Structure 1
C-alpha cells in the first residue's frame, strides 16, 4: 500500500511538471507581449473576500501566495506525515541518507550564496532563496530521463525533496513571520489542539475538515504569519487511520482529493503569477547582477555539492547507505536535479524581497531562479540519461535484485 501511494504521488507530481512548465512559459510570453501591462496590473489588483463579518482584502499576487499556496503546503504536510508513519521515512536506515543529503542540500547553496554575497555584494537577505527543491519539476524531469534507473532513486529523490521542503517551511516560519499578532495566533493553535483531540475521539466528516482548515488559515492570516507552517501543522492532525466502521483513511482521502487540484491548478497558477519576467529595458548589468549570479550558482553548484557530499559522507561513515541498486553517478544526477528550485525558491524570493512583482529585486530573483533551475535541469538530464543508458547495457546492473540465501549478518541458524 505504501509503495502504491508513493507511486501515485510520483505519477501525479511528475505529470504536473508539464503544466508547471507551460504556465511558466506562458508567464514569460505574456510579460513580454502587448498584454504585459494588463498582466502586472492584474497581479497587483485588490480583491475582497467577504463572508458575513469576515472580510479580507488582498492583491491577486498575495491571494495566490498566502491563499492557494497554503493548499500546496497542506499537501506537502500530508505527504510528510504519511512518509513518517507508513512510508520511507518510517525506517531510520532508509531515512538517514536522504535526510543528511537534504541538510547538505540546504547548507551548500547557503554557503555558495553567502560567499558570493561577500565577494560580489549580493543582498544578504537572499541567502534562503536557493535552498529549496521543486518536487514537481524535479520528478517530472526524472520521469522524462529516468527510464532504466532503479526505482530506489525515485524514492530517494522524493524523500530528500520532502525533507528539503520541511526545512524550507521551517526557514519561512523563522525568517519571514515577524511582527505577529499573537491573539489570533493563539486562537489558531487552540483550534489545532481541539481538532487533534477530536480527530482521535470521533469521526470528523470531510466538510468539517475543510471548515477547520479555513478557520486556521484565516486566523493565521490575521496573525501576520506565513500560512505555510500552520498548513503543515494542520496536516499533522489529520488521522492516518480510519474508524473501524468505515476503514477509510482521512489522510489518504485528503491526499487523493487534493493532489490533482494542487498539481494542475495551484502550482501552475503560482508559476504563472511569479515567473513572468519582462525583458523590456533589461540591461546586461541587471541580467548579470550579483543577486542573479548568487542565486543561480547557489542552486547549480551549491545543491550538487551539498547533496552529493552529504550522501557520500553518510555512506562513508556507515550512517546511511546508497539507494539500492544505484551507482554514485546516478546519485550525482539526482543531486544535480535538486538544483531545480523553481516554485519554492520563487516563493521564498517573494518573502525575502517583498514588493511589487515587477520590482528590480523580484526581476533579479526570477532571473536567478530560472537560470539556476535550467542549468541544473539540463545537467541532471544529461547525467541521468547517460547513467540510465549505461545501466541498460551493463549485464550486472540488469540482474534482478534478490535477497541473499542464508542468514543475514549476525543472525543465527535455527
Structure 2
C-alpha cells in the first residue's frame, strides 16, 4: 500500500512538473481573447471611418437646410427643411453599403430640431441634427460578447435672412489692357469676334472662332450680380426713387496705371452700375490711387459719410472695399514694381486698422497678384481667386451675401 501511494504521489508530481502540451492548453484557453483583440483592432479602424462619414453627412445635410432657409427668404417651413436633411443624409456615401432594413433604421434615427428668431432686421434660423447608427461588428467580437456599436453624430448650422443692413461699399476695379483677354467661357451669342490673349495683344488671335467671353465682360456681369443681390436684400431699395435706398450706399473707381476720375458714394446702386458698364480695357496696373480714394471716402474720420447715414436713420453701418485685379502691380511699365505693390499693401493695412472690411478678387491673376490680394483681404474668407466667368460671378455674389449679412454657416 505504501509503494502504491508513493507511486501515485510520484506520478502526480511528474505530471505537475511536465511542461509538454502547456502551450496548446494556454493557447486554447486564450484563443477567444486573442481573436477578440484582433477583431477590436479591425473594427476600431472601420468604426472611425463610418463615424467620420456619418459626421460629414450630417454637416452637409444641416448646412444645406440652413442655406435653403436663406435662399427661400425664410419661406420654407421647418418641416420641409427637416425633410431635406433626411433626404440629403440618405443620399450620402455612409448609406451605400446598407441593406434596405438597415437604411430604414438609420433614417428613423435622424432627428432635427429647428428654431427661428424674428428681429427688426430679419429672421435668424438654427437647425441641429442628431443621428445614431448601430454598426454591426465582426463576428470575431461575438466571442467576447460584443455584436454591435452605436455611433452618433451631431451637427448645427445657422443662417439668416435680413431685412437689410446699412453699409457703404466701394468697388476698386482693374481695367488694364489684360482685362480684354479671353476667358475659357464661350460666348454662344456671337459667331465672329476678336479674341485676345497675352501673346496676341493688342492684335486679335489668328483664330476668332469660337468666340470667348473676355475678362472685362465677365467682371461687368459679376458686378451686376453683386449689385442686384444687394438690392434684393435691401427692403428700402427703389429702382426709381430719390433716394434709391435708405440703407445701401455704393461707388466705384477703376484703375489701370493710374486711377480714373472718382465718383462719390451715392444711395443705391444705379450710379455704380452705370460707371462699371462704361469701362473698357487699356493701360498698365497700379491700384494705389484708386485704393486711396476708396479708403479716404470710407475712413472713420470722414464726417460726411457718417452724416449721410445718420440722416437716413442709420446709427451704424458697415464700411466695405472690394479690390479686384487680374494681374500684378506694374505701374506704367510691363513688369512688376515693388514700390507700387508695397504702396497697395500699406493702404490695405491702414484700411483694415480703421475697421474697413476688405474683400479681394484675384481674377485669373498671376502668383504675385494673388499674393498681394491675399495680404489685403480682411481674412482668408474674404479672398477669392476665380479662374473663369462663372467663378467670378459666384465670388461677387458671395461678397454681396456676406455684406448684407445673409450667410449660412456650421457652428459645430
Q: TM-score higher than 0.5 here?
A: no
Q: Which has the higher helix share?
A: 1
**TM-score under structure 2 normalisation?**
0.28
**TM-score under structure 1 normalisation?**
0.28
Q: Which has the higher strand share?
A: 2
Higher relative contact order (CA 8 A, sep 6+): 1
